[in-house]
Every structure is written in structure tokens, then in C-alpha cells.
Structure 1
Amino acid sequence: MLTSIIVLTLNNRDQTLRCLHSIRTFTDSPYELIFVDNGSTDGTVEWLSAQPDVKLIANGRNLGFAAACNQGATEANGDFILLLNNDTIVSHRWLSVLLQCLHADARIGIVGPKSNFVLPLQKIDVDVGNEGRYHLFAQSYNRHNPALWQDLCALSGFCMLLRKSTWQALNGFNEAFAIGGYEDIDIGYRALKSGLFLRLAGDCFVYHEGNRSFSANEIDMYGVAAVNRRLFIRKWGFNPERLILNFDPAFLPDRYAAPHPHHAPLAPEVPSGWYGMDMNGCVYRVERGRKRAIHSYDAFCRLNLSYDRVGRCGSALLHSLPDGLPLDGVSFPHGYPDVFIARDPAGGMHSISFGIRYPIRDEPSMVALGLRPEEAIPASFEQLWSLPEGWPLRGNVWEEYELYDYRLFRGPNGGIYFSEGQRLRPLVWEETLTRYGWSNNNAVFLPAELFNRTPIGFPIH
């Protein structure tokens, strides 16, 4: 069976030559070569056009990564499509090992390798400072070993293998992600939503120099990424860091968690992200259908809690919930809430959301999201830097960040809503506020545009 290897180029002729040489030398499965050039001016097009084994698509200008990949896939004759950046070097058994991973299960949608410059969960720290050292490493590393495979929620497009039928079913890359960035996260998420798995072939390593096309062609990589990240948030309603920086199994097919941006709620449930006290005076935090006990007053103080934030929901409700991991304010981050505000020793503020740290750059961002400095929990730099870092909170937070979980908002219609799992749950009665320790004085007004595009969840009584 044939694999169509589609390589994207934009100048960097020497790098393209090196990549092509490695493909010819080390590819051990039948393949065809399709190169798509996005407006090179350094002789790349002329050189590629003289290669007898290369099918060349030469664009007169930079159409962007997504559009170029779509062009190449249209010309592909293979049963499989392998997207590859030209700033890569492949090595021993690279393609056969990736194909073995893809063939293992019909529900595997996309496969990607380990690398040195890649998304964090695909990265492996190894000294491959020169090409000879890399090939020596790959000679022993690239060997079929299913024990090293892992399901992820995102895979990098620098080297991505999938069936041509899968590519066609997903309609390829979304070309709205212009130039480059997040089109690979988007297609991966669409694969997950369609019931397919993204699998990391941990038994394959492909060298990636990284970002050479952006740098060599003076493209503002971070500016382009910022625009495309906003597009992802607008399209899917949650931060893409949830897929990229942490492994959340609830994003995988056949998994369910509520409240969660990937899943519509099945039925009305007890809300998450609030504190309650039972008749014995024990305080709990309720998260995702479980109660997390705060066993001591010291822990209560370490978490910077106040009794005005503790609801009067009654013991019966709390005792009906299964126990979760206790909150101690010591073991970081597991002994802390799943969403909270942290203050570093220098006074800097950080949003900690589901294991990811988002630095808060200015006070207007906090005010817009309804975050109160007095709720911030002190944390050391060591604790904070131990978490993966997401994009900073600044500017227009409604475009730069997902709807903040566990906050009260006031809609344009005057109603009060509780945000949970990227949905707005209407509050039915005034007494609901007291029950869960909330105050409508803290409700933040939602812009009409954001309110209208946010799903409405089940009411909270």
C-alpha cells in the first residue's frame, strides 16, 4: 500500500535537500513524494522541479500551511497521507513504525511520532545535536514497540500520518487558520469528536529543527499563532491548551465527564466549584459530582477561604455525593481546587485552571472575568513554574480566553447565570445564591455577542 509523503517548503533550500535525502535513504515502505512550495525565491522550486521522483506544486505566494497541505492531499494517490515539514530529518524505519501504529486499530485516526521540537506531550529530551548522532539514536529507538504507544488529545502537524479516507472524511485542514498554527489541533479535535483516536507512536522519533520557515521568512510566528488561537476559541469554546498541555482523558472517544467543554450534560446535576458545610461544621468543595473535604482550619486558611463563600446547602446534599481527593493546601496542585487564582511571592496573579497556569497581566482582565484578588491563594514560584504555562490573560479576554468556570455572570436579558463546563446555567430562584455561597453582587455582565454564542445548560434550582 502506498503512502503519499507531502512536504511543505518555503525557502530554506538546503534544509529541503537534507529532508529529501533522508526520506530517500531511510523510508522502508512504498511511497510517493509530493512537494508543495509556498513561494520560495531561493532556488528551491528550480531544484525540486529537476528531481525525477518529486511531484511539485509550486505556488507563487505563501498560501499558508493548511492550504498547501490540502493542495498536496488532492494530488495524493496513496492510501495514506503523511504530512511532513521540510525542517525535519527522518531516519531508520520511521515510516514502517508509524504505519504499524496506524494499522493496529481501525479507530486510530491520526498518528504522530516523538520528537525534540514538538508539542510538550510528544517531546522527548535527547541529545541529537548533529545529524550523525540523531541517526545513531534512531537506529536503536525506531523499533516496533506498542508498549510505547499513547493516546493523546492533540498531535503536531510537523509529522502527521493518517488514512486518506480519514483525511477526506474530516475535509482536511481548515484554511481559516491562515499561514500556520492550530490547524493541526483543530483537525485532531475534529477526529476526536468523530470517534477516532489520536495516537502517539512513542516507538518512533523524527528530528525537527522547528520554526525555520517562520524565522527565515520574517513571519511573526506569535502574532499569527495569537490570531489562530482566537479562532480556535471562537470555534470550539475552550482554550486549546486543554488539548496541548495536559492529558485529559475526557476528550477521548467513549469517555464522559461533566461539566466538560467536550460533552453536553446528560441531565441536571449538582453544580461544581462551590463550598458547602455539613451539620458537623465540616467544609467541602464540590467538583464534578464529588465532595472534597477540607479537614482542618489550617487548610481552610491556607486556601484563603472565608465563611461568606461557604453555602448553606444542607448535609443531605453533601452526604449524597461520593468523596473526592481532600483539599489540604499543601500538596500542589492536587490538594488545591481544580480552578483557582494564585498569588506569587512578588504579587503577580495567575489563573490556575485544570492543571494549566495562565499569567494574569493586568487588573482589567481580572475585573472582566469576575476574578477577585482577595480570593487569591498564595503559591511559591516553584509551585507555579511546575505547571505548564498557557497564554497570558490580557487585552480582550472575551476573545483571548474561554468563559471562566465557576463564576456568576449577568446576561443581557438581566438573568443570572453560573458558568460551568463552558455553558451558562440559569439560576432559578434567589435562594439558590445562599444555598451555594454565591452573591449576585459579584455577577459580571456578559457582552451580548459572547452570551449569544455560549450554550445554555440546565437550570440550577
Structure 2
Amino acid sequence: MKIRATARRPASGSGTGKRRRSRNKNKRSSGTRDQRGSLLYQNGYEAGFSTGAAEGTAAGQAGYETAWEGTSIIIPTYNKYGYLKECVNSIREYTPLPYEIIVVDNGSTDGTEAFLRSVAETGRVRYKRLGYNAGFAGAVNQGLMMARGSTVLLLNNDTVVTRNWLGNMLQCLHSDPRIGIVGPVTNFISGDQLVEKKYRNLNEMQRYAAQNNQSDSSRWETAERVTGFCMLFRRDLLDRVGYLDEGYQFGNYEDDDYCLRVGMSGMRLVIARDTFIHHYGNRSIRDFGPAYQEVNERNADFFSEKWPSRDALLTFARGNPELHAKAADFYPSHHMVHGWNGQQYWLQSGLKHPLIVQAGERWAGPSTLLSLRDLRSCVTGNPMTLNEVETAYAAVCGQQGEVAEGQLLRDAEGVCYQIILGARRRWTSDYTLRFWNFVHRPVREWGTWPEAARHAAEGLPLIAAPVLKAPNL
């Protein structure tokens, strides 16, 4: 070694001990250098890791809204491994266009997880396993949060796709920017998407679909409803309309709810009759047995409670062909909201104002949870202090004089409104008032309305935001 070669050799035999001490000294010196090197390496690693983590987080946040040019196919599943495998295999066989598959597993116990691990290794398939049954809406929302495609497709796990299925639907969707959702026809469904079954097995089905699935714009028709077993939309529709409502249990009616919100935003729903896929139908929800009817009735009641005037809302939207609204445009004013991260905002006159509180201060009134996606769709105004918010709230509680911005009114027929930017905004239901915690606010009755309020133009209706149960939306 170099160290021994350059050391002074002792003149006497007693130098052997010295030589050993010299070696030990060199070892200690070497060890010290190693320790210093290790420390420098560790410090450099930690600094690099911290910098890399910060840069990675910033890049991830910056790229969160950057869409990948392809279709994110979201499949919620629960204990139907055989159907799921058949569905995934059919996508692989009949989808030459760019796509990714996102499977959200509602806590299956039948081997689904092992299958998902195996297909994830081959690419194009990502999955998220939930430790509970979040239902159709809950699972779809998790998939929507994961989706990176410029278009998104919701697909039941008990479907078998066919030749040209995705290409035909994409062609329909991109033919008109006013088209919000496109759905195919199938053999097992309620409503206008049902067609007569003309085959006895899947081989015959694929031959039938190959004949049917010839792109033909004359076979695209506007509809009031597209069912959630297969619905295609652009990514930006999610930014406008938001997530599915998780107030619907397990399945049924959450797709009707979503379609209604899409229609109210000014977008069209279209059935592409030049696209057929096979649907076994209700395979997961049948596992509920007799409880299925109870769940279905509960969801039907929730839909009716939330949307008692569905037809009137759609008529209003059709009567405004230039309507291009987003979810936040249907939310009330003078109310506190928050995201799952805890940040509170004061909604007022179409803006969200970040709430600034000092140590020991706290907003004592109600606050409503919104998804971060919905919050991003709200235009941000100047921050407001707690004192400013309390002053703004107090201003809407008066019962005399001119009507204040944000004040609640009730007409002679019992319909409630809120004045926002000079327009009368109708509350769509009692449920909506309860959702936003407005039921205990002071209301000016018809007899106290000033003339200006009675003749104010009617603006967009006020609706409830979707119920969210997961803490990460």
C-alpha cells in the first residue's frame, strides 16, 4: 500500500512495535477519512433527496392537469374476477387506439387482486384497491382522480367490447364541442340504448358488432340520458361538472344525476348507435339479493329529493343555447366552504376568498366540503379576514330596506331564492338548502320584497355539490 511504502523504516528491531503503531495510526486515519466521506455522502444524499423531492412534487403539481393524449378507461369492480378478466381481455384485443385501464377494486375477496397484479406488470393497467365497498360512484371517483387521459371512459366490469367501439365513440364525441357524453347501444340496459339481441354466444356477438360498428354519423342521436355502464367524455367535462355524487349507495341513479348536471351545464348527451358492446348486466349489484330493491328505492328517493324539478331544469338549459356553465356557477353566495386539506374559503358573488385567521380565531358558522377540483373551478378573489367575513354575513340577515347581495328571499308560492349579482337564483330543492346549511338563515318573505327584487331577472339555479366520502378528492 502507498501508506506503508512512504513510511520511515525504523533503525532498530524495536521498530517493529512502532511499525505496528504506525499501521494502526494509518488505519485510524483511513477510518476517519471513511467516516468523513460517509458523512459527506449522507449529507449530499439527503440534500439531493430533499431537492429532488421538492422538484418532483412541483413537477407533479404542475403536470397534474396535463392530459395524456389517450383514453383513460375506468372500471370499478367487486368480486367478479371472471367478468373483469373477460372485459380487460376484450379491451386489449379490440382497442388499437391509445388507452390506459384503471381498475378500482371495492375490496374483492375472490382473486381479483392477484389478477390485477399480474396484468399491471404487463403495462397499460393501473389499479387501486380499496379496503371497503365504496360503491359505483365512490370507485369511479377514485379512478377519475387517477385518470390522465384527454378523454375518460367509465365502463362496467361485466361488459365485452367490440371492434371499432372506442374509435366510433371518439369520432362522435369530437364531432361537436357541445357534446358532453357519448354512450353506445347494448343488449341489456334500461332506456333508449337497448337494442334487440341478435346472437346466441360471444362469437356471434362479435360478428354482429363488426357489422353494426361501421362509423355513421346519421346514427348519432341526442338523448336525455346515457347510462353509466359505458360513457365517454372529455377530461375537461370533469373539470366543469365535478365528481359523481357518492350520496347514492352502491349503484343506480348516480349516472342519471351526472347526466342531469351535464345537461344543465349546456352540454348534450348522445347515443352512438353505430357502436355496440355486450353487457351481461347487473352482475355486481345482484349480489345484494333482496336488499337490492331496498338500495334501489333509497337511491330513487334521493334522486327525487335532490331533483324534484328535473324537467324544468333541463328546459331552462335548452332555452339558453349559449349556456356554458361550470359547477361553481351553480353554487350559492355568502357561505364558507373547505377542501379536504382544511383550507377555508368564503364564497361571495362568484368568487372564493381565502379565509385568513389569526391565532385563536375560528369561523363559528357552518362550512361545506367541496372537492379540490370544484374549488379550483371557482375564481379566486382577495383574501378576507374573519372580521370581514362576519360583517358580510351580518349584512344578509336584514329584513327591511333594499335587498342585500346574498340575501335569501321566499316568494308567495314558497320558492326560495338568493340574490347574487343582482339576479334571483332559485334553490332547486329543500335538500339543496339543507346541503349548504341555509335552512336556519333569515328569509325575507314576499310581502317585504322591494320592487326591484320582484322584477329581478332569474339566473342559474342553485344546486347541491356532490356528496364526497373519500378524504382525498
- Bin of the TM-score, shorter chain as denominator length: 0.5 to 0.7
Q: Could you tell me how far 1:217 is from its partner in structure 2? A: 5.0
Q: Could you tell me how far 1:78 is from its partner in structure 2? A: 0.5
Superimposed CA distance per residue, residues 364-401 of structure 1 (whole angstroms, 9 cap, x where no aligned partner) = xxxxxxxxxxxxxxxxxxxxxxxxxxxxxxxxxxxxxx
Letter aligned with residue 18 of structure 1? E
Superimposed CA distance per residue, residues 209-237 of structure 1 (whole angstroms, 9 cap, x where no aligned partner) = 11100123547332212111111111111
Q: Which of residues 28, 34, 37 is equivalent to 2:102?
A: 34
Superimposed CA distance per residue, residues 240-281 of structure 1 (whole angstroms, 9 cap, x where no aligned partner) = xx69xxxx984763479xxxxxxxxxxxxxxxxxxxxxxxxx
Q: Which of residues 42, 46, 49 is equivalent to 2:114?
A: 46
- Secondary structure (helix, strand or coil) at the match of 1:50 reads helix
Letter aligned with residue 85 of structure 2? L
Report 1:16-415 matches (<5 A).
16-51=84-119, 52-53=122-123, 54-216=125-287, 218=289, 220-238=291-309, 250=315, 253-254=318-319
Contact persistence 1:119–1:155 (CA under 8 A): no
Aligned to 2:449: none
Letter aligned with residue 103 of structure 1? H
Q: Give TM-score, length-normalised by structure 2.
A: 0.52
Contact persistence 2:184–2:277 (CA under 8 A): yes
Letter aligned with residue 4 of structure 1? S
- Secondary structure (helix, strand or coil) at the match of 2:284 reads helix
Q: How many residues align?
A: 268
In 2, Cα distance between equivalents of 1:12 and 1:216: 10
Q: Could you tell me how far 1:98 is from its partner in structure 2? A: 0.4
In 2, Cα distance between equivalents of 1:80 and 1:219: 37
In 2, Cα distance between equivalents of 1:219 and 1:133: 34
Distance 1:20 1:217, change over 3 A: farther
Q: Could you tell me how far 1:119 is from its partner in structure 2? A: 2.6
- Secondary structure (helix, strand or coil) at the match of 1:202 reads strand
In 1, Cα distance between equivalents of 2:165 and 2:146: 23
Q: Could you tell me how far 1:44 is from its partner in structure 2? A: 0.7
In 2, Cα distance between equivalents of 1:106 and 1:116: 29
Contact persistence 2:260–2:314 (CA under 8 A): no
Letter aligned with residue 11 of structure 1? N
Aligned to 2:72: 4
Distance 1:251 1:202, change over 3 A: farther
Letter aligned with residue 141 of structure 1? N
In 1, Cα distance between equivalents of 2:290 and 2:95: 32
In 1, Cα distance between equivalents of 2:239 and 2:150: 11
Comparing both structures, which one devotes a greater share of its residues to helix?
2
CA RMSD between the two structures:
3.1
Q: Could you tell me how far 1:166 is from its partner in structure 2? A: 0.3
Distance 1:43 1:217, change over 3 A: farther
Aligned to 1:273: none
Distance 1:64 1:251, change over 3 A: farther
- Secondary structure (helix, strand or coil) at the match of 2:192 reads helix
- Listed as ranges, the gaps of 5+ residues in structure 1 are 257-414, 425-448
In 2, Cα distance between equivalents of 1:158 and 1:124: 15
Higher Cα Rg: structure 1 or 2?
2
Contact persistence 1:134–1:207 (CA under 8 A): yes
Letter aligned with residue 87 of structure 2? C
Q: Give TM-score, length-normalised by structure 1.
A: 0.53
